[in-house]
Amino acid sequence: MSKKTIAIVGGGQAAAMAAAALRQHGFDGELHLFSDEPHLPYERPPLSKAMLLDDTPQLQSVLNADWWRDNNVHLHLGVTVQTLGRQTHQLVLTNGEIYPWDRLLIATGAAARPLPLLDKLGDRCFTLRHAGDAARLRDALQPGRAIAIVGAGTIGLELAASATQRGCKVCVIELASTVMGRNAPAPIQRYLTARHQQAGVRLMLNNAIEQVCDGESITLTLQSGEQLQADSVIYGIGIIANDRLAHEAELEVANGVVVDNACQTRDADIFAAGDVAVLRRADGTLQRCESWENANNQAQTAAAAMLGLPLPVLPPPWFWTDQFNDNLQFIGDMHGDSWLVRSNPDAHKAIWFNLQEGVIVGAVTLNQGREIRLLRKWIQQGKTPDTTTLQGESVALKSL
Ligand SMILES: Cc1cc2nc3c(=O)[nH]c(=O)nc-3n(C[C@H](O)[C@H](O)[C@H](O)COP(=O)(O)OP(=O)(O)OC[C@H]3O[C@@H](n4cnc5c(N)ncnc54)[C@H](O)[C@@H]3O)c2cc1C
């Protein structure tokens, strides 16, 4: 596919890494990236952590300015793609400009799932997806302020930790009976619940907001009947994929652009990667993975597929979260039949192993991220360890 034009719609992790992969694979045609943000593609994970906590926070670019220049990528920043032009192979921007393409990658990510009941609070209500959201939120997290967070998923808990570290009084309201219900297994849910409570976060599980009253402070009336006062409200209740362009182009969408394992849509020239993509698995079920690593992996896959190269072999899925001073990393499958723990979570250092019929299928590390490489290898190999030795702290994992 040399000397043709590839257009990448979106300017986040997946878009940047796809551009990098295309050039690495030797694609020497025209490469255009269109982003509605004014910044070079930047890392989103620090938005809920370092960007709220560091004294002089700085956006971290995925690739530096020299890379974009040296690799001759046409960066169109601060522009919005209006239509993909599936039939004409010409995308149109809202400013009227038209760009032809031969292959197209949709990497438009996602937006925070809206909660209209809270949105009516205007500038005292926050969600977090973009750099501008983080800057606005940082201003609101002043010591002593009462912050109500709706949603105890990964983002909600990261925000609870950061707000507490900023000296705010934090309350988290969650509909489910547990924290991180979608992403974390039970032992980690228990650990995080205790961790947040010890740090002074008030966790209100099995609860939801029924009424909102906007006065000098915000009054939230909960299903339980209790009333809470807050200076600001933040919510993180999931995402809505930015799939409007694909929908209008009559591609298959299901809160995301449906792709196969090559990240290809039902149009052979159009691909999707990252948070906007939904993978149709071999058994027909749909799966979205909202993680930094998945955006990178799908970018690699889409780039290879666009160029007709063999698809990369994907490692077991991995993601991390940082809350307070804890770094938790999750690798592999979290649905095995039993869990074993090594070391002592109470001392903020542990590894939980997930086993299926005695074989390690997944693991979670707590402040032991350096073991992830080895754990990845074990999961790929289907390691069947001696469980007593595995739990014995005196034996280094690498010696097993
Ligand atoms: C606050 C936060 C913290 C996170 N922390 C972690 C973490 O600790 N660990 C982890 O594994 N993952 C984390 N993630 C998830 C990870 O960052 C995302 O999965 C990843 O950024 C997805 O990348 P993407 O390129 O698919 O989408 P995005 O990064 O959302 O990029 C999409 C881009 O496309 C642009 N766009 C959309 N529509 C258009 C259009 N029509 N025209 C032009 N441009 C458009 C958007 O503005 C955006 O710039 C976090 C996410 C957030 C929001």
CB atoms within 10 A of CB 311: 13
Q: Contact 32/291 with Cβ under 8 angstroms?
A: no
Q: What mean pLDDT comes out for the span 128-140?
A: 97
User: What separation in Å is there between the alpha carbon of 154 and the centre of ligand 1?
Assistant: 15
pLDDT in tens, 29-53: 999 999 999 999 999 999 999 999 9
User: What separation in Å is there between the alpha carbon of 136 and the centre of ligand 1?
Assistant: 18
Quick one: pLDDT at residue 2?
Answer: 54
The secondary structure of 280-311 as a DSSP string is: E-TTS-EE---SHHHHHHHHHHHHHHHTTPPP
- Nearest residue (by CA) to ligand 1, atom 4, is 45
Quick one: pLDDT at residue 344?
Answer: 87
| Dist CA 278 CA 307 (whole Å) | 21
Please state the atom number of ligand 1 nearest to the C-alpha of residue 290: 19
Quick one: pLDDT at residue 393?
Answer: 79
Quick one: pLDDT at residue 1?
Answer: 60
- Nearest residue (by CA) to ligand 1, atom 3, is 45
User: What separation in Å is there between the alpha carbon of 274 and the centre of ligand 1?
Assistant: 8
User: What separation in Å is there between the alpha carbon of 233 and the centre of ligand 1?
Assistant: 22
- What one-character DSSP code corresponds to residue 184? -
Residue to probe by mutation, ligand 1, list 9, 255, 292, most atoms within 8 Å of CB: 292
Quick one: pLDDT at residue 400?
Answer: 81
| Dist CA 293 CA 317 (whole Å) | 8
Of 343 and 194, more confident:
194
CB atoms within 10 A of CB 306: 26
Local confidence band at 277 (pLDDT 50, 70, 90 cut-offs): very high
- Nearest residue (by CA) to ligand 1, atom 27, is 109
pLDDT in tens, 345-376: 989 999 999 999 999 999 999 999 999 999 99
CA distances from 65 to 16, 112, 372 (A): 12, 28, 31
pLDDT in tens, 53-73: 999 999 999 999 999 999 999
Please state the atom number of ligand 1 nearest to the C-alpha of residue 320: 9
**In whole angstroms, what separates CA 177 from the centre of its chain?**
23
Residue to probe by mutation, ligand 1, list 8, 44, 331, most atoms within 8 Å of CB: 44
pLDDT in tens, 281-331: 999 999 999 999 999 999 999 999 999 999 999 999 999 999 999 999 999
Tell me what percent of the residues of the chain surpass a pLDDT of 70: 99
Quick one: pLDDT at residue 3?
Answer: 65
Please state the atom number of ligand 1 nearest to the C-alpha of residue 289: 19
Q: Is the pLDDT of residue 383 over 90?
A: no
- Nearest residue (by CA) to ligand 1, atom 45, is 10
Please state the atom number of ligand 1 nearest to the C-alpha of residue 15: 25
pLDDT in tens, 262-273: 999 999 999 999
Protein residues whose CB sits closer than 6 Å to any atom of ligand 1:
9-15, 34-37, 44-45, 47-48, 80-81, 107-110, 128-129, 155, 242, 245, 274-276, 290-293, 295, 319-321
Local confidence band at 388 (pLDDT 50, 70, 90 cut-offs): confident
Residue to probe by mutation, ligand 1, list 17, 32, 33, 35, most atoms within 8 Å of CB: 35
User: Per the structure block, which two tokens stand in for 369?
Assistant: 């991220």
User: What separation in Å is there between the alpha carbon of 156 and the centre of ligand 1?
Assistant: 16
Q: How many Cα atoms sit within 13 Å of 183 on the Cβ side?
A: 24
Pick the closest to residue 341 from 328, 331, 354 (CA basis). Answer: 354
| Dist CA 173 CA 141 (whole Å) | 18
Q: What mean pLDDT comes out for the span 390-397?
A: 82
Local confidence band at 384 (pLDDT 50, 70, 90 cut-offs): confident
User: What separation in Å is there between the alpha carbon of 339 and the centre of ligand 1?
Assistant: 32
Q: What are the chain's domains?
A: 5-111+239-306 (3.50.50.60), 114-235 (3.50.50.60), 325-399 (3.30.390.30)
Helices 154-165 and 186-198 cross at an angle (nearest 10°) of: 20
Q: Across all residues in the chain, what is the average pLDDT?
A: 96
User: What separation in Å is there between the alpha carbon of 109 and the centre of ligand 1?
Assistant: 5
pTM: 0.96
Quick one: pLDDT at residue 310?
Answer: 98
Q: What mean pLDDT comes out for the span 77-104?
A: 98
User: What separation in Å is there between the alpha carbon of 289 and the centre of ligand 1?
Assistant: 12
